[in-house]
A and B are shown apart, each in its own frame.
Chain A
Amino acid sequence: MNVQISSTLTAAEKSLVDHFDKISADLPGSGQAWIDDVRTRAIQSFENSGLPHRRLESWKYTDLRGILREMPAPAQNSQAPVLLEQDGVDAHTAFSSVDRHLGVFVNGFYRPELSSLEDIEGVEIIKLRENFDDLPDWVQEKLCNSKVYENNAILALNTAFAADGAALRINRGSKIDKPIHLAFVVTGKEACAINTRNLIIVEEGAEATVIETYVGPPDVAYVVNTALELCVAEDAVFNRIKVQDEGHDAVHLANLIVSLAGNSKCHDLTLSVGARTSRNEGQVDFTGENVEVTISGASMLRGKQQGDTTLCVTHGLPSSNSRQEFKTVLDDHARGIFQGCVIVKPDAQHTDGRQMTQALLLSPDAEMDAKPELEIYADDVECAHGATAGDLDEDYLFYLRARGIPEDQAKALLVAAFVAAPIEEVQDEGIREALFQLTNSWFDRRNSEA
């Protein structure tokens, strides 16, 4: 039987298993029974499933097995100097004017000399690689939880390979003075695979904002696999802003696992402009009532980029509000995918669940696949969803041009306007401006990169 299973693995899948055999003994923390066990079980889980492919319902539009023909070797922890800020606007440079605590990961490894994460009042920060031999219980407990990667091959791979990442615990009642920015930077000309695992625990009544950015070189076929487990306790408020601006030959795979306790508030926004293929997958669960959560995003894609957002929000308890709001701009042959699921279980009365996905297609060859899924088993709930796709409004364009704004500039304004709504909701003005800097320049970047 074993022989048969392994014979069906593709070259990329085989090399993933081979890479694990080669490097597992060198992974940080290796030799401790618990982590060896976690990693071995994760790679076995992957061996059984292989890479996700189009015959799986949730991967119908992103055939990863077909897309990932080759799998580069895991990245090495090099100490090569890195130029963080670029001349053009990228996700890292855009945030450089935001007053924030900065943690920089280069090719997946934490670089203290580029970072300023020490001594933030109200936050404990554990860098995984440095501390793998002596991880606190609150981190170890989460890493041991195999439930999160059941039926999720990407998360299983992340669990097996993750060599570094940050674990943040925002202490009870603490309001963090400024945003914490985790910057994931890829450098070098060699393709590599980067696996980072992050954990954020927001304790009772605490408040924090975390920014994640992903940037990398334009012509290198690297593969990023990143995961964040987020637990927000009672009465806590958490904001997360993620910008995926990977190089245009890269593959970016991300998992977000969220658990929200009673009376907590969580606002999440992802801006995706990079990568050849990207997948942002999220699952949100509630462990209490009266939760308010927004999972939102904007994707701006061109060329042959493909961007997939797949979400599942499960209301298992009463009286919570969830909103999903996504905007996608597609040019050239780009393809956008939105799969948004809202499940309202029988006990989740008085749920308010809303979902909206809107796409703007700038080219006849662009494609948007939107698949809203609502499963409602409770009778006293309010749920609404909508999906639209269209091209630029000619009347808008005429109005702007009739005031002397040239066509390209008018289009750039309208494209930026299309994605503005979810960004307007970001509370921090500096972060909002940084995001607008990226969306406002997208149309011009298109012209310069074309």
Chain B
Amino acid sequence: MLEIKDLHVEVEGEPILRGINLEVSPGEVHAIMGPNGSGKSTLSYILSGKEDYDITQGTITYKGKDLLDMAVDERAAAGVFLAFQYPIEIPGVAAMTFLKTALNAQRATRGEEELSTPDFMKLVREKTKELNIRQEMLRRSINVGFSGGEKKRFEILQMALLEPSLCILDETDSGLDIDALQIVAEGVNRLRDPKRSMIVITHYQRLLNHIIPDKVHVLSHGKIARSGGKELALELEQNGYAEYENNTADAA
């Protein structure tokens, strides 16, 4: 599904990622953990195609294609989805219009027919019910007046509608209370599929109680410092990140 090889990334000459290697197979859920400033969010932005980053070295192959060669919207149409840590408010663009435009744009890029309005509405009703989202919310502008929990649930709703093959969840648990976390995690788990891969980026272990990863990686100072199974997350919960922060500080 995804293969990252020796990825080096800089922002304004400052190295952020210093040689990432990661391979994600279909159906796998990988958690990427690490202290603040370790480059977790940068990795998610690089995968989704945000500009303002200089990729100085390395390759990213997605479904056998060079991901770095694809534009942001092409990546999305090919199945890459980033659930944002801080979903942005866009006044004036109705959430419902946005969902329909996005879904039909992706279908058009893939050479599929547009979804009719009744079919689209039916699909939205089904998914919003699962995620406990009020229809009324979708008549508002994107994320405007949404609570923190509503914003995150709206991200998961988009994911459920667009049915991507690679989901990247960037700190999806941040700002959520226990109940909201539960709803979001259930939404994500419903999307687990042998053909769909997920990268769950998180600072804390608690999200991984709900979304059980196949593999856990610790990102520290732009490199994967350690990889392991789900038990690695529990170890980090107990010992914290001090070890990784010190290690690299010594090396630097």
Contacts and interface: CB of A to CB of B under 8 A. Distances in A.
A402 B93 contact: no
A263 to B, nearest CB: 32
Contacts of A402: 48-50, 72-73, 76, 81-82
Nearest to B161: A403
B212 to A, nearest CB: 27
A394 to B, nearest CB: 8
A400 B98 contact: yes
Contacts of B109: 404, 406
A420 B158 contact: no
A403 B90 contact: no
B88 interface: yes
A421 interface: yes
Contacts of A410: 73
B194 interface: no
Interface stretch (A223-231, A318-326, A411-419): A411-419
A398 interface: yes
A399 B84 contact: yes
Nearest to A421: B92
B240 interface: no
Given A401-B76, A404-B109, A395 B88 contact: yes
Q: How many A residues are at the interface, by size bracket?
A: 20 to 34
A399 B50 CA distance: 10
Given A401-B76, A403-B76, A403-B98, A396 B105 contact: no
Interface string B18-49: 00000000000000000000000000000011
A404 B106 contact: yes
B182 to A, nearest CB: 25
Contact of A401 (B73, B158, B162): B73
A416 B105 CA distance: 18
Classify the interface of chain A: helix, strand, loop or mixed. Answer: helix
A416 B106 CA distance: 21
A82 interface: no
Contact of B105 (A406, A418, A419): A406
B101 interface: yes
Nearest to A410: B73
A114 interface: no
Nearest to A408: B73
B77 interface: yes
Contacts of B76: 401-404
Interface string A97-123: 000000000000000000000000000
Contact of B73 (A404, A416, A419): A404
B88 A406 contact: no
Nearest to A409: B105
Contacts of A418: 92
Interface in A319-351: none
A410 B77 CA distance: 14
Nearest to A407: B73
A75 to B, nearest CB: 39
B105 A404 contact: yes
A405 interface: yes
**Nearest 8 A-B pairs (CB), nearest first?**
A417-B92, A404-B76, A404-B106, A403-B102, A420-B92, A401-B72, A401-B73, A417-B93
Interface of B: 48-50, 71-73, 76-77, 81-82, 84, 87-88, 90-93, 97-98, 101-102, 105-106, 109, 141-142, 158, 162
